[in-house]
Amino acid sequence: MARDWSDLFITAGSAEPGGSDDGELEPSEREAPRGRGGLFRRLREGMARTRQALGSEIQATLFGVLDEQTWERLEEALIMADVGASTTASVVQRLESEAAAGELEGGEALSERLIGLLAETARVGDGRIDIRAKPTVIMAVGVNGTGKTTTIGKLAWHLRKEFGQSVLLGAADTFRAAAGEQLEGWARRAECEIVTGPEGSDPGAVAFEAIAQARSRGVDVVIIDTAGRLHTQDDLMGELGKVRRVIARQLQGAPHETLLTLDATTGQNGLRQAKLFAETVDVTGVVLTKLDGTARGGIALAIASELALPVKLIGIGESVEDLRPFDAEDFARALMAES
Ligand SMILES: Nc1nc2c(ncn2[C@@H]2O[C@H](COP(=O)(O)OP(=O)(O)O)[C@@H](O)[C@H]2O)c(=O)[nH]1
Ligand SMILES: [Mg+2]
C-alpha cells in the first residue's frame, strides 16, 4: 500500500514489486503518521462526513457495555457507511470473538483492533503503479462524471512536477468535444503534451497516435482518457474493449495499468459499475473519487474485499493535492479516528 506518491510509483530506482513492503507490517510496527501529520489531517478532513457518521456511532458503541446490541449497532453503522454486508459480518465476528476471548480490554483496544481489521480488509493486491516500462501506458476508464479527466490531470501533474517524468495525454474521449478541451486545460497546467482527435472520431486512432508519438519522442508515461458514456452501455463497453485492443496490439505489455474511477457518492452502484468494467477491460486498480462528498466512505473496503481490486488512489476534493495514494491503514484510521 502506498502512503505517499513515492510509495505509489515503482520507478527504476525503487524496490521490486513484492519486495520489501511495509504493507506486511503490523500497525504497531509502523511509524505513526507523524511526519505526514499535515497530509493525514487533510485526509481526515476530507473524510469528515463518513467519520462523523461512523466514528461517533462506533465510539459510543464500543466504549459502553459490550452485549449483543453492541455488535448489532456496530454492524449497522458499518453497513450504513457502505462497508458491505459480508465484509461487515466477518469484521464484526472477528472483533466479537477476540473480545469474548478477553484479548481486547476497553474501548480503546477495541477501536484500535477495529481499525486494524478494517485496514486488513482494504489491503488487497499490489496498490502501486509500475512506471518502469518506457513508455508506460495508463488507460483511464469509468462512467461520465466520476472524475476520470480530473484524475488524469492530477496524476500527470504529480508525475511531471514531483517525479520529473515526461507525460503525454491521449484524449480518446471523442464523444464530447468538451472532454478534449478539459484535458487540454490539464495538459497546460501539468505542462505535458497532448494528442486529441476531432469530435466523433475513432478513439482507437487517438490512442494509437498518442502511443506512436510517445514512442518516437521517448516520453515516459502515456495516459489515455476514454469516454464514459455512449448511446448505450453495450456501445461503451464495445468501444473500450476496442481501444484496449488497439493499445495492446501496438505495444507489448500495454496498457500497463487500467484505472477505473468510481464516484464514492454512488455507493453500491459503484460496485456494479466496477464489475462491468472489470469484465471488459481488465481493470488493475480503482480510483475512488469524491470521498469528501459522502458519509459512505466504507465503499473503499467493499471494493477491495468484494471485488478483490486494489484501490490505488482516492479523491478527497478538487485541488491537485486532493488526489492521493490510498493507504489502508491511514484510511481506516481516518474513517474513525477522534484525533
Ligand atoms: N469534491 C470532489 N470533486 C471531484 C473529485 N474528483 C473529481 N471531482 C469533480 O467531479 C467533476 C467531474 O469530473 P471529470 O473529471 O470531468 O469526470 P469524467 O466525466 O469522469 O471525466 C468535476 O467537477 C471534478 O472537479 C473529488 O475527489 N472530490
Ligand atoms: Mg472526462
The alpha carbon of residue 236 and the mean position of all alpha carbons in its chain are separated, in whole angstroms, by 22
Residue nearest to atom 7 of ligand 1 (CA): 147
What pairs with residue 288 in β-bridges? 262, 314
pLDDT on residue 56: 81
Ligand 1 nearest atom to the CA of residue 151, by list position: 15
What is the three-class DSSP state of 24? helix
Three cell numbers, residue 40: 493525514
Q: Could you tell me which residues come within 8 angstroms of residue 127 by beta carbon, excluding any fewer than 6 positions away?
A: 1, 2, 8, 23, 285, 310, 311, 312, 325, 326, 327, 328
Ligand 1 nearest atom to the CA of residue 150, by list position: 15
Three cell numbers, residue 92: 464484526
Is 70 domain-assigned?
no
Indicate if the alpha-carbon torsion angle 237, 220, 213, 147 is positive or negative.
positive
pLDDT on residue 31: 42
Residue with cell 476497553: 106
CA 137 to CA 211: how far, in whole Å?
Answer: 8
Q: Is any ligand 1 atom within 6 A of the Cβ of residue 123? A: no
CA 297 to CA 194: how far, in whole Å?
Answer: 33
Q: Is any ligand 1 atom within 6 A of the Cβ of residue 150? A: yes
Is 218 domain-assigned?
yes
Ligand 1 nearest atom to the CA of residue 146, by list position: 20
pLDDT tens-digit map of 315-336: 999 999 899 999 999 999 998 8
Is 31 domain-assigned?
no
pLDDT tens-digit map of 11-60: 987 755 444 444 444 444 344 444 567 778 888 888 999 988 888 888 88
* Dist. CA 159 → ligand 2 center (Å): 19
Is 136 domain-assigned?
yes
Is 106 domain-assigned?
no
* Dist. CA 8 → ligand 1 center (Å): 21
What is the three-class DSSP state of 31? coil
Q: How far is CA 202 from CA 33, 205, 280, in A?
A: 47, 5, 19
Is 207 domain-assigned?
yes
DSSP 74-93: HHHHHHHTT--HHHHHHHHH
CA 141 to CA 258: how far, in whole Å?
Answer: 7
* Dist. CA 230 → ligand 2 center (Å): 13
Asked if 171 contacts 225 with a C-beta cutoff of 8 angstroms, the reply is yes
Task: Give the total number of structural domains in the chain.
Answer: 1
Cis peptide before 255 (omega within 30 of 0): yes
Asked if 227 contacts 262 with a C-beta cutoff of 8 angstroms, the reply is no
What's the chain's length in residues? Answer: 339
Of 315, 252, 261, 268, nearest to 284 by C-alpha is: 261
- Integer distance in angstroms from the first to the last C-alpha of the chain? 22
DSSP state of 281: H
- Per-chain residues with Cβ under 5 A from ion ligand 2: 148-149, 179
Q: Which residues of the chain have pLDDT under 70?
A: 1, 15-36, 337-339
What is the three-class DSSP state of 10? strand
175, 289, 312: which to mutate for ligand 1, most atoms within 8 A of CB?
Answer: 289
CA 11 to CA 2: how far, in whole Å?
Answer: 14
Residue-range definition of the domain harbouring residue 313: 129-327
* CATH code where residue 176 lies: 3.40.50.300
Is 1 domain-assigned?
no
* Dist. CA 185 → ligand 1 center (Å): 14
